[in-house]
Structure 1
């Protein structure tokens, strides 16, 4: 029996489903949650909830939610811990309680659909395909195999998700993405699609990218840059995407302080470097980090630095020095090469 049929059978036995997005959800996570909700509705589940933690700060992500009118609710621990026996809990685009989500470790999970590397995945239904370019690709396959109606809103969401996750079909793309996109193209709302593909950019995002350019340090073909404090968490991956296109740069890593944590974003077209493993090695003892060979991210609580300095300027300097050193050490680049 196909994964789609197995999922449908599991959903048929439930009366409620809570779909938890990962922290600060992106279009791939949001579209996948929307699609799973539609599949659950087709299976007869009337109570469906999509929860998220963190921020939806990237301009494209905000436009995505607003233009597609996605019904999201802030995460509440009680909604996943104190649920009924016939209430299902699902993860899309992430896999493990407590890892890039606010679900308490050890919570029973019923459905996991993901395309990221992960250890310790435990759920009644698991479909995790690291070779696939987007989680939305997997959900599109389910919709087609289960013959679930795909309206323009859902088609637009999934198509934007696949396009965004693969950097317009230039990163990590497989034949499955092209097949899914071909199916979705004629069903999508083309005007909404155009508006979502090229949303407006905030001034703070441009300032953050400019700061990353100005603060860059390059050793061999690796670029590392700290931007200090920023209110635009999603400006960090945008800066990394841009800096990775500079001549002579094969790996770009950008970090900055967002509220009470240091966020790190890496991009590495270089096949010799696994960005996820580099970030994991750099920060596994102080935070959480990982990802694919070409795209990765991490987060370190600022509290481990806060007690070591009295003023913000000194804190920023300390963070810049320590994070930069950890990254170059993880990349085996000696101090004399920096």
Structure 2
């Protein structure tokens, strides 16, 4: 991306924020490192380039040990917000998500100042003044790095570390779904990164229930040709499925790893693949109109509200549908992984 393009996007964002007093920056419900870092960078931009104040909000839970460690390192920059607080917000910015995706509480009807995301653009047009959606980019943190650079703001160590970690986690350290823009942002951040902090984040202490859920995932995992599908059952937090799918994909014969689980009244699943494309499409096909799904070429996820249905029946249907979409008959029992 050229300097002119970066400047144009920055000026468009600033026009959308003209006259704003208080800005609510909203991530998806259960923010990951990319969402957390992107929101932090947006807050930095708002408070240094405009006269407005900014708050970072999310609706769900920060569950993974690494994500909680990142938030501690960043001195707890996010806060859980209520639907009433979101409704009252006069100026809204969404990062790493879009209205109507199902992983945040907003619909396309809600007026939003700005949307910055790297997930595929939804068919329904967003009601936003500034829209920067670039699905070819590997991480929203790359996009926000460009905005900070265009504003000629210094990238301080804490923010640089968060953005670097956001890019690293969403692209597997530039091994998955990256562009030259991701590489440039990664390299620009590199000299300022606190690698001791990243080491602490990546090796964050794990609670006992993590291992009990790992045990359930491994016991339930079944191999279907080059796919491994596992179910956790009840989960302490919804993004544990991503942890398990990441691990299952490391099985030598695995091309597709899928993990499902139940959190409160919703079935969540995560997809990982060795292929460069197809995960997001698979997630959307399987969910259909029954819930929400999205993602990129190599990683995706989705959620389906139970709406009174039994969790086991929904999970079994999803497992069968995944097998069908991946070329099976849907009736295979599969071989045990362990």
Q: What residue number does 1:330 align with? A: 325
Q: Find the counterpart in structure 2 of residue 92 from structure 1.
A: 95
Q: Tell me which of 142, 146, 169 is aligned to 2:147.
A: 142
CA distance in 2, matches of 1:211, 1:117: 33
Distance 2:237 2:212 in 1: 10
1:1-338 map, 5 Å: 2-83=8-89, 87-97=90-100, 99-119=102-122, 120-122=124-126, 123-271=128-276, 274-306=278-310, 316=312, 318-335=313-330, 337-338=332-333
Give per-residue Cα distances to partners, 1:74-102, cap 9 Å, x unaligned. Answer: 2223333334xxx4210000111463111
Q: TM-score, normalised by structure 2?
A: 0.89
Q: Which has the higher contact order (CA 8 A, sep 6+)?
A: 2
**CA apart distance, 1:108:** 0.3
| 3-state SS of 2:301 partner | strand
Residues in 2 aligned to 1:177 and 1:193: alpha-carbon distance in whole angstroms: 19
Check conservation: 1:5, 1:146, Cα contact below 8 A.
no
Runs of 4+ in structure 1 displaced over 4 angstroms? none
What displacement does 1:292 show? 1.2
CA distance 1:212–1:285, change in 2 (3 Å): same
Question: Could you tell me the TM-score, scaled by structure 1's length?
Answer: 0.89
- For residue 198 of structure 1, report the CA deviation from its aligned partner: 2.5
Secondary structure in structure 2 of the residue aligned to 1:247: coil
Distance 2:48 2:69 in 1: 27
CA distance in 1, matches of 2:125, 2:102: 11
Check the 8 A contact 1:81/1:107 in 2, yes or no: no
Between 328-337 and 224-233, the greater mean CA deviation after superposition:
328-337
Cα offsets for 1:51-75 (capped at 9, x unmatched): 1011000111111111111332222
Q: Larger deviation: 70-79 or 33-42?
A: 70-79
Larger CA deviation: 4-13 vs 132-141: 4-13
Deviates more, 1:23-32 or 1:184-193: 184-193
1:276, distance to aligned residue in structure 2 (A): 1.5
Cα distance in 2 for partners of 1:173, 1:210 equals: 33
Equivalent position of 2:3 in the other structure: none
Distance 1:98 1:132, change over 3 A: closer
**What's the CA shift for 1:264?**
0.5
Work out the number of aligned pairs and report it: 325
